[in-house]
Structure formats: structure tokens, C-alpha cells
Amino acid sequence: MSVAAPIGKPSFDSALHAARQAAGPQHYPAGALYAVATPIGNLADITLRALHVLQIADAIACEDTRHTQRLLRSYGIDGRPLIAVHEHNEAEAAQQVLERLRRGERVAYASDAGTPAVSDPGARLAAACAQAGLRVVPLPGASSVTTAISAAGLAGDGRFVFMGFLPAKAGERTAAAQALAQERRAVVLLEAPHRIAALADALAALGERPVTVGRELTKQFEQIATLPCAGLAHWLAADAQRQRGEFVLVLHPFDAAPPEGEGERVLKLLLPELPLKTAVRLAAELTGAPRNVLYGQALALKAAAD
């Protein structure tokens, strides 16, 4: 007879059983590093394959051993050796992991939350494995980047740029935010609670450009809102709770379509002074209009002028 889990504390016994049933028959090569994505907030967002690998790994490398120990115990996994591999010791700690891999061990790597090496440690470790001719097996799963993108309701072609954290120094952060005004694609930013107000001030220069703010994504007090960049600072100040937790921000893309006739107007100014191809290239850069469309318009303007 099993003992019921305390109220409010989930039991993952059935998930561990399902992981063994679903993922167990698959092949897990020895001497490989397994990059394991872990939940960004909600414990139930772990994958079955991740649970299985964490159970069969000979050792688990992790960003913070205390955090990962709590995570493993929440799932009912215990007894695995933990190796600290974080931003301050990653190059040195990687050698310890490589030694285990050369002995034929399976080593899982987990950062504190989300997918390793995405604004988290793990990239140097993976690079060291590749350089040593050792295999890296990625286990996809939770990611704050794709979570925010899926809720932002972006228009356009779906392209985005991941910028992560802007510089911490005020001047560099302001310059970086102003540079984003030239980026037509969607942009994903990350920020910590103690700097979110400063980031909002810097983004105010982007005016009416929409930004989706994701706060505490997947957690109990998750909050998602879309508003103009110019209003972000006011939105944060309106409720002290809004400045708490971890943040993912998605700048929406520009409307790539230029005003009707704008490309042709610019061509009329440039063609008398420049070769046709140069005029088309500059008009495309200035207006964002497709170069092939502008080229056709330029040929028509040339023909009409002749």
C-alpha cells in the first residue's frame, strides 16, 4: 500500500514508471553527455525521457548542486553523484566530466532551469566534449524563450532574434536598447527582477512598438501582458508585484510593409544620381521593400524617363 503524498506536494511515482515504460527501451549510449532540459517553474513540465536519463545517469553535472538535489528529490530520484559545473568553473569542471565519459559513464547535465547553454552554463562543457570526440545527446524540453514566443501572438514570418540579457551598465544598456530600434524581427530579452525597471526605462525609447512581458512563466503567479514599450515602466510601477520574479520580454516585429508608394518615391530621388542597381539597393535598405519589386519599378521609371 502506497503512502499518499502530502497535500500540495505532487507525487511523481507514476511519472517515473511511465518514464521507464516509454523511454526505457530506447538506446542510451555510454560515454555520452546528456544535456537535460529541466522545468522553468512548473515541476510537471519535465519530460519522460529526462526523468529516465536522470535515473540511469552515473553522475549528474549541474549549475547548482543544492538546486538540482531539491529537484531530484521532488521527483523521487536520489543517490546520484552531483558535480558542480557553473559559469565560474565550467572550463575546469569540464575536465572532470570528460574523465567520467572516457571511462564509459553516462553523465547528465542540467542547468538550474530550462535548456542548458541558453543563457545558462553548458556551452563550454558541450564544446569540450565535441573537441574530445565525445558524444553530446540533447534532451529537449522547457525553454523560457519558446514559452514566451508561443504566448506573444507574433505577426509576420515567425523569425526572431534571441538577445538574452542586455548589458548591466546603464550606458551600455541604453545603447543596446536604442540599437534594437533598427531590428525589424522579433527580439527575445531576459531580465532579473532587480533590473527590470531599468530595462523598462531603456526600452521606452522604442515608443509604441509592442512588447509582451512574461513574468514567472509556468509558475503559480504567471503573468503575461502585451503593451507599448513606452508604457512598460508605468505598467511595472502600477503594482509592486509586477517587479518580482524572472522576466522574459518579446519585442514584436516591425510591420515590414513600407507605406504604399514609398519605395517608388525613394527611387525617383535616387535614380537621377546613381546607377540603377545602387539606387535599388539603397531604396531597399531605406524602406524595407523587397529588392525584386524595387528593381521592376526602377526599370519602369527608367523606361518612362527615356
The yes-or-no verdict on residue 53 having pLDDT over 90 is yes
**Residues 218 and 235 sit within 8 Å (Cβ to Cβ):** no
* pLDDT greater at residue 260 or residue 99: 99
User: What integer pLDDT is reported at residue 288 of this predicted model?
Assistant: 81
Cell numbers at residue 83, please? 558535480
Among 28-42, 142-156, 245-259, name the most confident range.
28-42
Other C-beta atoms closer than 10 Å to the C-beta of 56 total 15
The yes-or-no verdict on residue 289 having pLDDT over 70 is yes
- Residues of 2-27 as b/e, b for ≥16 C-beta within 10 angstroms? eeeeeeeeeebeebbeebeeebeeee
Phi, then psi, of 303 in degrees rounded to 5: -65, -40
Cell numbers at residue 302, please? 527608367
* pLDDT greater at residue 3 or residue 298: 298
**Residues 37 and 66 sit within 8 Å (Cβ to Cβ):** no
Phi-psi sector, 125: left (phi>0), alpha (psi -120 to 50), beta: alpha
Least confident of 3-12, 72-81, 182-191, 272-281: 3-12
Given pLDDT bands bounded at 50, 70 and 90, which one contains residue 300? confident
Given pLDDT bands bounded at 50, 70 and 90, which one contains residue 3? very low
User: What integer pLDDT is reported at residue 6 of this predicted model?
Assistant: 40
The yes-or-no verdict on residue 121 having pLDDT over 50 is yes
The yes-or-no verdict on residue 37 having pLDDT over 90 is yes
User: What integer pLDDT is reported at residue 301 of this predicted model?
Assistant: 85
User: What integer pLDDT is reported at residue 4 of this predicted model?
Assistant: 36
The yes-or-no verdict on residue 155 having pLDDT over 70 is yes
On average, the pLDDT of the chain sits at: 91
User: What integer pLDDT is reported at residue 255 of this predicted model?
Assistant: 63
For the chain, give the percent of residues with pLDDT over 90: 76
| pLDDT tens-digit series, residues 223-255 | 999 999 999 999 999 999 999 999 999 999 976
Q: Which residues contact 89 (CB under 8 A, 6 or more apart)?
A: none
User: What integer pLDDT is reported at residue 181 of this predicted model?
Assistant: 85
For residue 201, give the nearest of 236, 164, 227, 163 by alpha carbon. Answer: 236
The yes-or-no verdict on residue 260 having pLDDT over 60 is no
| pLDDT tens-digit series, residues 168-217 | 999 999 999 988 988 889 999 999 999 999 999 999 988 889 999 999 99
The yes-or-no verdict on residue 259 having pLDDT over 70 is no
Separation CA 9–CA 75 (nearest Å): 11
User: What integer pLDDT is reported at residue 30 of this predicted model?
Assistant: 98
The yes-or-no verdict on residue 57 having pLDDT over 90 is yes
